[in-house]
């Protein structure tokens, strides 16, 4: 009937995704298109255990990337242009993280340590004083839910969109080489150490 057979057992499952930038005004990255692309390339790949992936278009994280073996969340890096700013303070009011506060003249002061790279300041600015410097994917590895849940480790930020499949391939290769039968990748990371994974997978694909 033209339908694909779903995957189960110890292999890569169908990736899930939120509506992304096509349906949600908060969307930064195209989660739907990327999930379909990843599905075409990696669906059904044999693993030591089930391997789940998801894609969220923004930091609201509707696709729950923290609970996935490998999760990708859209992020955007904001930059401010003083010459275009009219001091309206709308960016500070829009920021839910306290990463932007206004001085006495209404000029924004940016604390990157509090920023979650959601882009609310960019969308709120009426003069385009806030713009995106770069977009990409925040990457989390090793999450799972169930009886013994584990929150995924954040391992990369601003991974370029064209590097996602390379990142997945490298992760699956590392998982195959370091894992044991019936062992989720989060358990492997807990056993051998996150630094080993980051050194052998992340550092080769993500510029720091």
The pLDDT confidence band at residue 207, using thresholds 50, 70 and 90, is low
Average pLDDT of 37-62?
96
Under CATH, to which class is 78-132 assigned? alpha beta
Q: Do 12 and 47 touch, CB atoms closer than 8 A? A: yes
Please check whether the domain covering 16-77+134-205 is classified as CATH 3.40.640.10: no
Average pLDDT of 85-110?
97
Please say if the pLDDT value at position 208 is more than 60: no
Q: Which of 39-53, 155-169, 193-207 has the lowest mean pLDDT?
A: 193-207
pLDDT in tens, 11-35: 999 999 998 777 788 899 999 999 9
Please say if the pLDDT value at position 72 is more than 60: yes
d(CA 143, CA 151): 5
Q: Do 134 and 163 touch, CB atoms closer than 8 A? A: no
For the chain, domain boundaries: 16-77+134-205, 78-132
Q: Do 54 and 64 touch, CB atoms closer than 8 A? A: yes
Residues in Cβ contact with 141 at an 8 Å cutoff, skipping those fewer than 6 apart = 69, 70, 71, 152, 153, 155, 171, 185, 186, 189, 197
Reported pTM: 0.93
- Both tokens of 57, joined, read 């278009």
pLDDT of residue 4: 67
Q: Do 37 and 165 touch, CB atoms closer than 8 A? A: yes
* CA proximity to 45, closest of 72, 13, 23, 4: 13
Average pLDDT of 163-187?
98
Count Cβ neighbours within 10 Å for each residue of 28-52 and write b for 16 or more, e otherwise: bbbbbebbebbbeebbbbebbbbbb
Residues in Cβ contact with 147 at an 8 Å cutoff, skipping those fewer than 6 apart = none
């Amino acid at each position: 009937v033209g339908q694909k057979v779903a995957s189960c057992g110890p292999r890569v499952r169908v990736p899930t995704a939120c509506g992304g930038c096509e349906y949600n005004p908060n969307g930064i990255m195209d989660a739907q298109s990327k999930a379909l692309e990843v599905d075409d390339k990696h669906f059904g790949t044999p693993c030591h255990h089930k391997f789940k992936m998801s894609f969220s278009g923004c930091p609201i994280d509707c696709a729950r990337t923290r609970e996935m073996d490998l999760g990708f969340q859209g992020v955007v890096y904001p930059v401010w242009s003083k010459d275009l700013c009219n001091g309206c303070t709308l960016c500070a009011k829009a920021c839910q993280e306290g990463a932007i506060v206004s001085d006495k003249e209404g000029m924004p002061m940016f604390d990157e340590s509090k920023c979650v790279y959601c882009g609310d300041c960019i969308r709120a600015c009426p003069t385009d004083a806030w713009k995106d410097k770069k977009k990409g994917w925040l990457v989390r590895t090793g999450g799972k839910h169930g009886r013994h849940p584990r929150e995924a480790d954040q391992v990369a930020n601003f991974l370029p969109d064209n590097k996602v499949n390379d990142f997945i391939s490298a992760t699956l290769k590392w998982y195959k080489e370091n894992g044991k039968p019936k062992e989720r990748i989060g358990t492997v990371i807990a056993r051998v150490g996150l630094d080993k994974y980051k050194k052998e997978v992340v550092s080769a694909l993500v510029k720091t």
